[in-house]
Amino acid sequence: MALRRHGHHPLLAAPFAYASDAAAYGVEFAAIDDGPTRILDEPATRGIVDDGLTGVRGGIAAARTVARLKHLLIAPLRDVAAIAHDHGDLGAVVHSAAFPAQYVADMLDVPAVVVALQPGWIPSGSFPCRLVPLPRVPRLLNRSTYALVTAAQRSREVERWRTSELGLAPRRHGARRWLRDPGGGRRPVLQSFSRHITPVDPGWGGAVRTTGFWYLPARPDWTPPRELARFLDEGPPPVYIGFGSMAGTHAHRNNALVTEAVRLTRVRAVVATGWGGIGAAADGSASSAPDILTIEQAPHDWLFPRTAAIVHHGGAGTVAAALAAGRPQVLCPHMGDQTHWAARMRALGVAPAPLTARTLTAHGLAEAITAAVKDRHLRHRAGEIAPLVRAENGVDAAVNSLALHLT
Yes or no: domain 2-212+392-403 corresponds to CATH 3.40.50.1390: no
- Rounded CA-CA distance 379/119 in Å is 26
**Phi, psi (degrees; rounded to nearest 5) at 287:** -60, 140
Task: Write down the pLDDT at residue 294.
Answer: 94
Gyration radius from the chain CA atoms: 21
Distance of CA 197 to the CA centre of its chain: 15
CB distance 11 to 28 below 8 Å: yes
Residues 192, 212: Cα–Cα separation, whole Å: 6
Mean pLDDT of 341-356: 96
Cβ–Cβ under 8 Å, residues 295 and 270? yes
> Among 70-79, 364-373, 375-384, whose mean pLDDT is lowest?
70-79
Burial of 135 (0-12, 13-18, 19+ CB in 10 A): exposed
**Nearest-angstrom CA–CA distance, 37 and 140:** 34
Whats the size of the chain, residue-wise? 407
C-alpha span between 72 and 94 (Å, rounded): 20
pLDDT digits (tens, 9 = 90+) for 205-220: 999 999 999 999 888 8
Q: What single-letter DSSP state applies at residue 377?
A: H
* Range name among 1-15, 64-78, 197-211 with the lowest pLDDT average: 64-78
Q: Is 273 helix (H, G, I), strand (E, B) or coil?
A: coil
Which of 371 and 180 is assigned the larger pLDDT?
Answer: 371
Which of 97-106, 147-156, 393-402 is predicted least confidently? 147-156
* Range in 28-42, 191-205, 359-373 the model is least confident about: 28-42
Q: Using one digit for the tens of pLDDT, what is the confidence trace for 282-301?
A: 444 555 678 999 999 899 99
Q: What percent of the chain has pLDDT over 70?
A: 86
What confidence score (pLDDT) does residue 397 get? 96
CATH 3.40.50.2000 domain span(s) along the chain: 2-212+392-403, 226-388
Task: Report the sign of the C-alpha dihedral through residues 80, 88, 208, 321, in that order.
Answer: negative
Residue 259, phi then psi, degrees to nearest 5:
-60, -45
Give the model confidence (pLDDT) of 122-148 as tens digits.
999 888 888 877 777 888 888 888 887
Residue from 345, 296, 315 nearest 197 by CA? 345
Contact yes or no for 382/372 (Cβ under 8 A): no
Question: How do strand 28-32 and strand 189-191 relate by DSSP bridges?
Answer: unpaired
Instruction: Give residue 283's pLDDT.
Output: 47
The pLDDT score that the predictor gives to residue 173 is 56
Of the candidates 82, 102, 119, 75, the residue with the CA atom closest to the CA atom of residue 175 = 102
Q: Kindly tell me if the per-residue pLDDT of 248 is higher than 60.
A: no
Cβ–Cβ under 8 Å, residues 305 and 326: yes
pLDDT tens digits for range 388-397: 999 999 999 9
pLDDT at 267 over 80: yes
What integer pLDDT is reported at residue 282 of this predicted model? 45
Structural contact between residues 95 and 115, judged by C-beta atoms closer than 8 angstroms? yes
Among residues 74, 284, 115, the alpha carbon closest in space to that of 208 is found at 115
Backbone φ and ψ for 17, nearest 5 degrees, come out as -60, -20
Mean pLDDT of 63-86: 86
Q: Give all strands (DSSP E) within 230-387, no chain letters.
A: 239-242, 269-272, 292-295, 309-312, 329-331
The closest alpha carbon to 36, from 105, 98, 93, belongs to 98
Look at 211 and 280; give whichever has higher pLDDT.
Answer: 211
pLDDT for 171 equals 76
1-20 mean pLDDT: 92
pLDDT value at residue 70? 76
DSSP conformation letters of 54-121: -HHHHHHHHHHHHHHHHHHTHHHHHHHHHHHHHSTT---EEEETTS-THHHHHHHT--EEEEESSTTS
Residue 400 phi/psi, 5-degree rounding, is -65, -40
- Which one is predicted more confidently, 132 or 402? 402
* pLDDT value of position 59: 59
SS3 231: helix
Q: How far is CA 29 from CA 38, 84, 399, in A?
A: 20, 13, 19
Look at residue 101 and tell me whether its pLDDT is greater than 70: yes
CATH domain 226-388 topology? Rossmann fold (3.40.50)
Q: Which residue has the higher pLDDT, 344 or 130?
A: 344
Tens-digit pLDDT profile for residues 306-331: 999 999 999 999 999 999 999 999 99
